[in-house]
Amino acid sequence: MANIELDGVNKKIKVDSGDLTLDVPGDIVLDADGGDVVFADGGTNLLKVTNSSSDVVLQPQVDTKDIVFKQYDGTVVATVEDNATFNIPTDKLAINGTAVTATAAELNLIDGGTARGTTAIADGDGVLINDAGTMRQTTVETLKTYIGGFDVSSITGATALAVTPASSDEAVISDAGTLKRIDFKHLRNNPSFLVKLSGDQNISHNTVTKITWDSEIQDSNAAFGSNKFTVPTGEDGVYMFMCGLELDGIDNAESVDLYWYKNGSNIEFGSVKFYQSADNQLSRNVSSVCLNLAADDYIEVYVAQNEGGTIPIESDVAFFAGFKMFTA
């Protein structure tokens, strides 16, 4: 039979063999006014439970040792390690019954503190995404490719455009250092037009006559009408115009005059006179003019001849064309 000794001098209850069981009908209360309850083994303190302003502090008393939480069968469910890490084994963490399946590497992504927007982002930087309920890491470059953003380094020209660009096709330009998309139609020489005569037009002797172009071949901006080209709103700039025509039966020293009219008046600039040096000649005449125009300015072509009677402009070769070269 074991003996129980009360050691008043050393303030101990000592049992000389076996275990000591405290079996009471009520609760067992350890009341230490010093604030510490210490668990020891063979004189070596192992764990101290401390009152810190009514906070309960569990603190190991042997350096480099851990606090280990186990199930009844000995399975470790958590460890407070010596390096201050609270380590939970894989698949052992759940919130409200739902397992948290993120890996340690994934959880380590969420440690950026409170600072935001102060660090430059690089293609290789990681981004945390939810992949059908599983947290995964991807790169900024992968995310950028998926979203469809681009920068100068993305323009590789790897895919060739096998056909002429459509008006709605887009090109990339740098607007004061900022990359922007622009419809290809803005890179063409538009507005542009080409018109002809559907039939011969008679020109009276010594009469300045407006040519009545009535057959449109092309009119990009619907800017040609009533025998004239009108600059559309927002299309101010420098334009090139060309005109070609043919009159038959012009005699020696007789002439054909081709006039450019701007806003209803002869501008002289670009107008030409063609003289013949023999009788009954075919006068084939071409003129071009370059003009700086504003919105609503309009251009017409007039012709005159002094052959002595009425002669026609041959419709099969007559044309009037023009296009915008650039914005002034």
Write down the domain spans for the chain: 4-99, 192-326
The top-level CATH class assigned to 192-326 is mainly beta
Tokens representing residue 309 in the block:
């009677």
The whole model's pTM is what? 0.54
Residue 34's pLDDT band, with cuts at 50, 70 and 90, is: confident
Please check the confidence at residue 112 and state whether its pLDDT lies above 80: no
Q: Which residue has the higher pLDDT, 157 or 48?
A: 48
Which single residue is written with the structure tokens 């063979």? 42
> If residue 107 lies in a helix (H) or strand (E), which one and from where to where?
helix 104-107
Residue 203's pLDDT band, with cuts at 50, 70 and 90, is: very high
Helices (H), the chain: 104-107, 140-147
Q: Which residue has the higher pLDDT, 29 or 302?
A: 302
Integer Cα distance of 291 and 270 in angstroms: 9
pLDDT tens-place string over residues 233-266:
999 999 999 999 999 999 999 999 999 999 999 9
| Interval 107-119 mean pLDDT | 57
Q: Are 202 and 191 in contact (CB under 8 A)?
A: no
Please check the confidence at residue 103 and state whether its pLDDT lies above 70: no
**Residue-level pLDDT at 111:** 56
